[in-house]
Structure 1
Amino acid sequence: MHKHITFLHTSAIHIETFARLVKAIDPDVKVEHVVEEALLTDAQRVGANDPALVMRVHDAMTKAASTGAPIVVCTCSTIGGAAERTPTDRHFVPIRIDRAMADRAVALGPSILVVAALESTLGPTRELLEESANSAGVAIEIEYLVAEGAWPHFLRGDWTAYFEAVVTAVNAIAPHSVSAIVLAQASMAPAAEALSGMGIEVLSSPSLGVQSVVEQLHNRRIGLVPTC
């Protein structure tokens, strides 16, 4: 399997982050990016499990693989479940960026705080954590926190205010009784450093996810059907 990854984003803000993370691990990996902002916008409106939206997510993942990437990674937590279930006929492997984060959170459990700037992200993240817990054969307890007012800052491109709103929301509830804090959206990752002094591991999906994906690219034998 050749070293080539394509990322499906719902915001162009993620392009630089994921390109940098891959390059830091293996600069020889070819990285491509596809941005489909409407998928997240519509998921907020109709729900991530809407059949028509799921088909559009599958189509976007398949299109992202059309240049030959053996792995396509969806970086949006809201549509990640649908992306990961994309039928591929073994032509590529669909991955959601937050799966490695969920596995780590479950390992740190049992009590997990999920923080999101969008309420629509909570359901898909809960389902993902429950999948990871079931696979590990452990029980978990999940608490939820929506960082009120954070998302409008994101939409305006005011990243500093966005991260500060996330940090302020977490600090306000002082969640010292939990085992791990999950920042459910990839865009929230910079807030992890500001929360690192809490004595609780704060998890974000980009670095953990990219490390896992590149390891799979290097080490895992995937039975893919040749595309040429």
Structure 2
Amino acid sequence: MTTIVVVHTGSVTVQPIKDQFKEVMADARIINIVDDSLLNDVRAAGHLTPEVTSRLYTYMSNAQAMGADIILNACSSVGEATDLLRDMIRTPIVKVDESMAEEASRIGSRIGVVATVQTTLEPTTRLIQKKAAEHGRSISVTERIAEGAFEALLAGDGERHDTILKQTIMALAEQVDVVVLAQVSMARLVPALGKTRVPVLSSPRSGVEAVRRALAAL
């Protein structure tokens, strides 16, 4: 049986990714490692820290010891740590947002990125710019923070989270060719958006599809 270990920095990403695996790879064994102090520490520092990277290494090393065929990093805020750890961990590591970033850079030259956490916004923007550069594409990125949405979600007020986020997405969609939702926790809003002027991309589905492709390539 295929074993996939998913490393989360908060509980809000667990169910969306589990749901996608049920649809895409129902026979796989999914193991979730959750440490919500990782994102809290990144947010407190304002950036990825060596201490957070070290703890991620420990979790991914443990995943390797568990016999994981693939490790999925579920958090964009610590995605750049994954780039370092790929050279240290034998098990292949997939970033949940990497495929989404590449797709966004293909769709258009004006890319909007929406986040509810500042520490996710900047790494996502850098990842999109990196993917565009790899393919020789010229892009511009417009960033937006949905102020107060993440705090509402943590407080259990999903309705307020969705209202703030929807307003931010719809306003940004008027200015760009594609909107990227920078966090897995935001994907649950996509069905409620209805018809939008431009594509709105989220990472759970594309991230899980990237895992499936990576496994097929092994």
| Aligned positions of 1:12-51 closer than 5 A | 12-51=11-50
Distance 1:166 1:65 in 2: 36
Q: 1:110 to 1:27 in 2, by over 3 A?
A: same
Shift of 1:17: 2.0
Distance 2:201 2:159 in 1: 19
Given that residues 70 and 93 in structure 2 are in contact (C-alpha distance below 8 angstroms), is that contact kept between their aligned partners in structure 1?
yes
Structure 1 or 2: more helix by fraction: 2
1:157 paired to 2:118 = no
TM-score by length of 2: 0.93
Distance 2:51 2:104 in 1: 31
1:215 paired to 2:202 = no
Aligned CA-pair RMSD: 1.7
Given that residues 176 and 198 in structure 1 are in contact (C-alpha distance below 8 angstroms), is that contact kept between their aligned partners in structure 2?
no
Distance 1:79 1:125 in 2: 10
Provide the residue aligned with 1:86 in structure 2: 85
Output the amino acid matched with 1:16: Q
Q: For structure 1, which runs of at least 5 residues remain unmatched after alignment?
A: 222-228
Distance 2:190 2:41 in 1: 28
Provide the residue aligned with 2:199 in structure 1: 201
SS of structure 2 residue aligned to 1:65: helix
1:185 paired to 2:187 = no
Distance 2:142 2:71 in 1: 30
Shift of 1:76: 0.8
Output the amino acid matched with 1:190: R
Given that residues 101 and 204 in structure 1 are in contact (C-alpha distance below 8 angstroms), is that contact kept between their aligned partners in structure 2?
yes
Q: For structure 2, which runs of at least 5 residues remain unmatched after alignment?
A: none
Q: 1:216 to 1:110 in 2, by over 3 A?
A: same
Distance 1:127 1:212 in 2: 19
Output the amino acid matched with 1:144: E
TM-score by length of 1: 0.89
Shift of 1:207: 0.7
Distance 1:13 1:25 in 2: 20
Provide the residue aligned with 2:71 in structure 1: 72
Distance 2:96 2:172 in 1: 27
Distance 2:49 2:40 in 1: 13
Task: Compare 187-196 and 91-100 and name the one that shifted more.
Answer: 187-196
| Aligned positions of 1:53-68 closer than 5 A | 53-68=52-67
Shift of 1:87: 4.5
Q: 1:100 to 1:109 in 2, by over 3 A?
A: same
1:140 paired to 2:139 = yes
Output the amino acid matched with 1:220: A
In the alignment of these two chains, the number of paired residues is 218
Output the amino acid matched with 1:22: F
Distance 1:14 1:58 in 2: 19
Distance 1:177 1:40 in 2: 30
